[in-house]
């Protein structure tokens, strides 16, 4: 869905402020050590709501009424998620929370949100016009920038696409989805479902002057090149077949899909004369620690698992699932505990050392990040749940500083997996032709045909 500037009309460009002022003692939010470890890139998401989701009995049936509802509820929820209305400090190590507001753009798009099954949607969500600013892997936010931005897009068909952009150093996907879900609950006047976040991470994982101000664990692996993005969708039937083929006890959807993607990547890597490959997997530490880290904790709490293998020799799906599971099992309670308190930086360094132990330095690299089971398809502002969730990680033939990246997200009904795979052009030519992948996945399907 490539949209030219001539087809986009900005209706309004304003800021939404918290409905109550932030207390003086909270006007400086220090990011945690784990926040420091993340790159200053923006994390985007778009939620697509079709026009037929609007209930006829709703008083907010017009687009203008829904925009006003979104602004009122956003203003109310910003009193709880107060850092979002702030700005990045001069040193980049804190957020100035002086209620400067969240940019809120309203735009109208000439054209259909999802036209028909013939329409190529593979690159639509990457178009910058749907976002409040241009987004890419090499985009970085710095001093004085907003930490959150929103754009509401209305299509001719009546559908709405709500785009939200976060500063990654402020929070992870869990934090982002908690905010969006709480914003939606406020719009529905459902106070019971509205999260009041806690801000313990800045104290439990105090920032450290020695911490690099970039993602030091992955940065050396990043490469620039011509990239191609494809969406591979695995329905419940395909997932079950993968589980049966793995011969592993109680495999998860994410494990088997990750293993198949790695298997296909190895074929592409081998075809490009690389003898070994490396897979990294982002891990939500809230689920790995014995400490009571509730999902409402604000900030970044992620770790990284890494596994390697020899291309062409270890292509069995079950063995790859075992390698992934084994790597993730090392991201455990000890991994988290080592990073707590004033000596946390030493623990962070030890975790990195153990993660990379035994990994060949020249291994070909692919990274996977999963948002499965995060509940993003449950978001409801009062006119139904989204029909599709996307991010802007489409290569689309552009230059990307982060090649060989995979993002996993639930399908709409929750039992499938949608994999967004961005690879070098020459890698994708081999990757997408692997017979097992072609037999199990739908490639770039129309979102309306995904359950």
What's the sign of the alpha-carbon dihedral 246, 247, 253, 258? negative
Query: Which tokens go with 196?
Result: 């009041």
DSSP string, 274-313: --EEEEEEEEEGGGT-SS---TTB-S--EEEEEEEEETTT
Residues 172, 181, 380, 410: which is the catalytic one? 380
Residues 35, 96, 168, 410: which is the catalytic one? 168
Distance CA 97, CA 17 (A): 11
Euclidean distance between the first and final Cα of the chain, in Å? 21
Residues 6+ apart with CB under 8 A from 424: 225, 226, 227, 228, 403, 404
Task: Answer for the pair 114, 121: CB distance below 8 angstroms, yes or no.
Answer: yes
φ and ψ at 100, to 5 degrees? -85, -5
Q: Based on the residue annotation, tell me whether 364 is a catalytic residue of this protein.
A: no
302 - beta bridge partners? Answer: 284
Q: Based on the residue annotation, tell me whether 123 is a catalytic residue of this protein.
A: no
Eight-class DSSP state of 32: P
- CA nearest to 391, candidates 425, 423, 420, 417: 420
Q: Which residue has the tokens 């050396």?
A: 220
Provide the annotated active-site residues.
Answer: 168, 380
């Amino acid at each position: 869905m490539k949209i030219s500037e001539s087809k986009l009309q900005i209706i309004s460009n304003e800021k939404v402020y918290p409905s109550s002022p932030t207390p003086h003692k909270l006007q400086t939010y220090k990011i945690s050590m784990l926040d420091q470890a993340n790159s200053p890139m923006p994390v985007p998401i778009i939620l697509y709501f079709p026009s037929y989701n609007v209930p006829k009995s709703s008083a907010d049936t017009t687009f203008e009424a829904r925009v006003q509802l979104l602004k009122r509820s956003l203003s109310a929820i910003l009193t709880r998620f107060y850092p979002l209305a702030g700005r990045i400090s001069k040193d980049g190590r804190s957020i100035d929370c002086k209620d400067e507001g969240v940019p809120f753009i309203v735009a109208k798009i000439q054209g259909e949100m999802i036209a028909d099954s013939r329409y190529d949607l593979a690159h639509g969500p990457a178009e910058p016009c749907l976002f409040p600013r241009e987004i890419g892997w090499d985009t970085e936010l710095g001093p004085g920038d907003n930490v959150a931005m929103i754009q509401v897009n209305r299509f001719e068909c009546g559908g709405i696409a709500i785009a939200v952009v976060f500063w990654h150093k402020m929070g992870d996907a869990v934090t982002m989805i908690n905010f969006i879900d709480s914003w939606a609950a406020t719009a529905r006047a459902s106070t019971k479902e509205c999260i009041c976040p806690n801000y313990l991470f800045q104290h439990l994982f105090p920032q450290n002057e020695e911490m690099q101000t970039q993602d030091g664990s992955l940065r050396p692996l990043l490469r620039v090149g011509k990239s191609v993005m494809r969406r591979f969708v695995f329905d419940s039937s395909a997932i079950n077949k993968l589980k049966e083929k793995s011969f592993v006890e109680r495999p998860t959807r994410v494990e088997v899909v990750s293993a198949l993607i790695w298997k296909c990547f190895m074929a592409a890597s081998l075809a490009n004369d690389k003898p070994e490959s490396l897979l990294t997997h982002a891990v939500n530490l809230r689920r790995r620690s014995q400490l009571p880290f509730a999902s409402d904790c604000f900030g970044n709490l992620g770790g990284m698992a890494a596994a390697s293998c020899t291309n062409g020799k270890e292509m069995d799906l079950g063995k790859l699932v075992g390698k992934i599971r084994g790597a993730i099992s090392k991201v455990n309670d000890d991994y988290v505990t080592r990073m707590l308190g004033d000596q946390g930086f030493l623990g962070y360094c030890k975790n990195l050392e153990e993660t990379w132990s035994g990994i060949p330095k020249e291994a070909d690299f692919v990274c996977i990040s999963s948002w499965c089971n995060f509940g993003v398809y449950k978001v409801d502002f009062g006119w139904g749940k989204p029909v599709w969730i996307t991010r802007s990680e489409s290569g689309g033939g552009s230059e990307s500083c982060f090649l060989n990246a995979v993002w996993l997200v639930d399908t709409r009904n929750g039992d499938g997996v949608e994999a967004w795979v961005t690879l070098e052009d020459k890698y994708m030519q081999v990757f997408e032709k692997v017979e097992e992948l072609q037999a199990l996945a739908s490639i770039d399907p129309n979102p309306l045909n995904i359950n």
